[in-house]
Amino acid sequence: MQKIIRGILVGALALGGLITTSTSASAHASIQLYGEKATPGGYGVLFVRIPHGCTGGLTTDKVVVSIPAGFASVRPQLVVGFTAGRTMSGTTVTEVHWSGGALKNSEFADFGISVRYPLTAGSYGLKVVQHCGAVTTTWDGANLPTLVVAPKTASYPITVEATEHDGAMKMIFDASTIHAGKRVVALIKVDGNTVRKVGVVLDDRGDAKVSVAMRGTNPKGENYRILDGAVVEVTMDKTLVGMATLGESTSSEHGGGH
């Protein structure tokens, strides 16, 4: 039985700057972007907000932020009253820290970090340790400040259709002639992991068709299997232009703007 999915980029994907923590930012360390968006491979400044002192209302004199793998060009902001520094592992920054200051329990401060965001979209947790003399407060686990890195969205999205039939998945990209001749990359993901990466050049109408075996070996020599629920993300110049989920369907048709 043929399974068909047609999907088009929706507005919800534009939430590239969404920041989440498990509890209210007023009570816990959190990450602020001030309206900017964290996009794969993009440059920006994220701010770690320390909203109060340690347990007992003690004054904060040091802040340490762990930097997840994938971040590059990491530089801490100069914060008045504190001395900034970095901890390195070879050429990789693993932590940034500020010390020697006196942030009172009745005050808050934002500690800025200039970065190049990871090339892969996803959620990244940055553990924060707040020092107040010999007393420390660690923000991790359920209170881990988390940054969402999301693909940029396109002004002219592409309609994506994926069909499963006779052991193969056929992908059809239906786009505007604005995209004619451009190269797109389809990332086929199962349980969040990319199992196949397919590049294709759009024709003079901005369209393309490509088939991928439902199971086999990818160019890296890894065995893969595409299942219902697999997500197809189509990017152009690292910008998300369309997506679909295999095994779901929509009742509406989306034209390519011809």
Which of 3-17, 27-41, 89-103 bottoms out in mean pLDDT, i.e. has the lowest? 3-17
**Do 142 and 21 fall within a single domain?**
yes
* pTM of the full structure: 0.58
**Do 121 and 23 fall within a single domain?**
yes
**pLDDT (tens digit per residue) in 171-186:** 999 988 888 999 999 9
Helices then strands, counting H and E runs in the chain, come out as 0, 23
Provide the pLDDT for residue 97.
Answer: 98
Q: Tell me which amino acid residue 188 is.
A: I
Query: Rounded distance, CA 217 to CA 100, Å?
Result: 55
Q: Is residue 250 part of a domain?
A: no
**Do 180 and 126 fall within a single domain?**
no
Last residue of a domain, one of 134, 149, 164: 149
Contact of 159 with 173, CB cutoff 8 Å: yes
**Do 74 and 175 fall within a single domain?**
no
> In the predicted model, what is the mean pLDDT of residues 239-254?
67
The closest alpha carbon to 112, from 40, 50, 181, 200, belongs to: 50
Last residue of a domain, one of 149, 182, 197: 149
Q: How many domains does the chain have?
A: 2
CATH classification at residue 171: 2.60.40
∠ CA 243-246-249, nearest 5°, is 85
**pLDDT (tens digit per residue) in 198-241:** 999 999 999 999 999 999 998 888 899 999 889 999 988 878 88
Domain containing 200: what range?
Answer: 3-13+152-245
